[in-house]
Structure 1
Amino acid sequence: MPTSTTLQDRQDIADLMTGWVHRDQGRWDRLRELFHPDARIEITWFEGAASDFVDASARMATTDLRTKHLVTSPTVTFSADGTRAVSETNAVIVAENSSLGLGCNGHNRFIDRIERRAGVWRILDRTSVYDFATFTFPAGIAEIDPEVVARYPREYGALAYLLDRSGFPVLRTFATKGSELEHAIEKSAFAWLGEQALD
Structure 2
Amino acid sequence: MDSYLADRRAIDDLMTGWMRRDLAQWEAMRELFHPDGIIEITWFRGLFTDFVDASARMGTSDLKTKHVITNPAVTFHEDRAIAETNAIVVAENGKLKLGCQSHNRFYDRIEKRNGVWRIVDRRSIYDMGSFTFPCGIVDIDADTAAKYPPEYAALAYLLDKSGFPVAGSFATKGSALEGELKASALQWLEDAR
TM range (shorter): over 0.9
Moved segments of 4+, more than 3 Å: none
Aligned-pair distance for 1:147? Answer: 1.0
Q: Deviations over 1:127-161 (max 9, x none)?
A: 00000000000111111011111110000000000
Residue 72, structure 1, aligned to residue 70, structure 2: yes
> How many aligned residue pairs are there?
192
Q: Secondary structure at the match of 1:6?
A: helix
Compared with structure 1, are the counterparts of its residues 5 and 188 closer, same or farther at alpha carbon in structure 2 (3 Å cutoff)?
Answer: farther
Which segments of 5 or more consecutive residues in structure 1 lack a partner in the other structure? none
Letter in 2 for 1:37: P
Q: Aligned match of 1:41 in 35, 39, 42?
A: 39
Q: Secondary structure at the match of 1:9?
A: helix
Structure 1 segment 60-139 matched on structure 2, within 5 A: 60-79=58-77, 82-139=78-135
Q: Aligned match of 1:21 in 19, 22, 45?
A: 19
Partner of 1:52: 50
Letter in 2 for 1:179: S
Q: Secondary structure at the match of 1:164?
A: helix
Letter in 1 for 2:145: V
Aligned-pair distance for 1:173? Answer: 1.0
Output the TM-score relative to the length of structure 1.
0.94
Letter in 1 for 2:40: E
Aligned-pair distance for 1:13? Answer: 0.1
Structure 1 segment 165-184 matched on structure 2, within 5 A: 165-184=161-180
Letter in 2 for 1:16: L
Residue 185, structure 1, aligned to residue 181, structure 2: yes
Letter in 2 for 1:30: A
Letter in 1 for 2:124: S
Counting aligned pairs with the same residue, the percent is 61
Letter in 2 for 1:86: I
Which segments of 5 or more consecutive residues in structure 2 lack a partner in the other structure? none
Partner of 2:155: 159
Aligned-pair distance for 1:4? Answer: 9.1
Cα distance in 2, alignment partners of residues 59 and 4 from structure 1: 41
